[in-house]
Amino acid sequence: MKTPIASLSIAARATLDMHSLNNEGGEGNQIQTRMVDIVDHKGELHNVNAISGDMLKHVLMEHFYQQARAQHLSLCLSCQSFNANRINADKDFIKRTEKEKVSDADFIDQMLQTCAIDDVAGILVTEKRSLPRKSITEFGWVLGLPGKVSTNSYFHAKYVAERSVEKRAEDADNQKTGANLGQSIFHRPASSGIYAIVCHLELSRIGYNDIKQIYAIDEAERQHRASLLLESVLYTFIELNGAMRSSQLPHLVALEGVITTSTGVMPAPLISPLIGGDDSNIYREQVQSIASALNGNNGEQVKVNTFDTISDFATQMRTLIDSSSPFELAIGR
């Protein structure tokens, strides 16, 4: 018997060393990393290194896409080649639904039946109509903890073996076309520190048509998509894809945090792991208290699982994947 889960939240602190997962571009031969302004729990302003939520959501969907392909989940023509435009770029689907004058409510039904990625990642349909599908998955910015993260710029060189006068003149000529074949130097940033991560999944809405307030796909398909989504969340945390991994694969040194689940319409509580600053237990204790307050005397609809290591997190996610099913919302009429 599987436990139905309506929503799931993860608040975590990850220690990452020498990564360059999110860069915002370059000036000359200097690559720049992403820095943002945040306010800590005491009201103090800090400028810290950060990785955007877009990056994490992209990583999650890459993992989901690979599994969906391997396990033959239904995907639209566009998502079959991992096109970020999703169903908007499935010309056949868009043309047919326009020709048949399909209503917005029926369009959502057909989209959910056609594509697991449009279902769980969401999309704003802009082709021939304007129709939003709210994402099942949500990620916040990954933020460096004030005083616990450092970024430096490192010198690198690209060497070429042949350095004769003729070859250098030829390379200089090619430089004008942007071919960049000559020897060159460049600076690349790397950051190390403790980062705060927040993630929320609304599993009850998998396959749910928000206009008709009914499910567009059957229970078995919902279960399949939910399991692959949870599996992809696990992969995202243990294999942080992103920029510059070919030579700056991040060192994930530590991972600790809290997973909350709700077995009903009560929300799975999520607060920022930035809370507490140097004390890494405060946000977890607060989540525990919030869960007790939400549950009151009515059993344990909200459950809290804390983890202290990377393997602890993986084990808990595995248990959740194997023992849960997506909660079914009451169907509207």
| Distant-in-sequence, close-in-space partners of 193: CB < 8 Å, separation ≥ 6 | 15, 16, 49, 144, 145, 148, 149, 150
**Binders in 183-222 for Zn ion, by CB under 5 A:** none
Q: At its nearest, how many Å lie between Zn ion and the CB of residue 77? A: 8
Q: Give kind and range of the element (H or E) at residue 182.
A: none
293 CB neighbour count, 10 Å cutoff? 10
Q: Answer for the pair 283, 271: CB distance below 8 angstroms, yes or no.
A: yes
Residue nearer to Zn ion on the CB measure, 78 or 306: 78
In the list 48, 59, 79, 270, the residue contacting Zn ion (rule: CB under 5 A) is: 79
Residue nearer to Zn ion on the CB measure, 13 or 86: 86
Q: Is 279 buried (19+), middle (13-18) or exposed (0-12) by CB count in 10 A?
A: exposed
Q: At its nearest, how many Å lie between Zn ion and the CB of residue 117? A: 5
Q: Which CA distances in Å does 203 have to 3, 66, 165, 262, 268? A: 12, 20, 64, 10, 11
| Bridge partners for 139 per DSSP | 199
| DSSP for residue 303 | E
Which string of x and - marks every residue 231-250 that binds Zn ion (by CB under 5 A)? Answer: --------------------
Total residues in contact with Zn ion, by rule CB under 5 A: 7
Buried b / exposed e over 295-305, threshold 16 CB at 10 Å, is beeeeebbbbb
In the list 10, 14, 38, 76, the residue contacting Zn ion (rule: CB under 5 A) is: 76
| Distant-in-sequence, close-in-space partners of 272: CB < 8 Å, separation ≥ 6 | 11, 140, 196, 198, 283
Of 8-16, 70-78, 165-173, 307-315, the window that binds Zn ion (rule: CB under 5 A) is 70-78
Residue nearer to Zn ion on the CB measure, 57 or 86: 86
Pairwise CA distance, residues 247 & 261, whole Å: 37
Of 73-81, 184-192, 221-229, 312-320, the window that binds Zn ion (rule: CB under 5 A) is 73-81
Of 75-83, 200-208, 252-260, 303-311, the window that binds Zn ion (rule: CB under 5 A) is 75-83
Residue nearer to Zn ion on the CB measure, 75 or 287: 75
Residue nearer to Zn ion on the CB measure, 209 or 261: 209
Q: At its nearest, how many Å lie between Zn ion and the CB of residue 199? A: 22
Q: At its nearest, how many Å lie between Zn ion and the CB of residue 138? A: 19
3-state secondary structure of 279: coil
**Binders in 85-144 for Zn ion, by CB under 5 A:** 86-87, 115, 117-118
Residue nearer to Zn ion on the CB measure, 66 or 305: 66
Q: At its nearest, how many Å lie between Zn ion and the CB of residue 127? A: 12
| Distant-in-sequence, close-in-space partners of 52: CB < 8 Å, separation ≥ 6 | 22, 34, 141, 142
Residue nearer to Zn ion on the CB measure, 86 or 188: 86
Residue nearer to Zn ion on the CB measure, 52 or 114: 114
In the complex, the residues that contact Zn ion under the rule CB under 5 A are 76, 79, 86-87, 115, 117-118
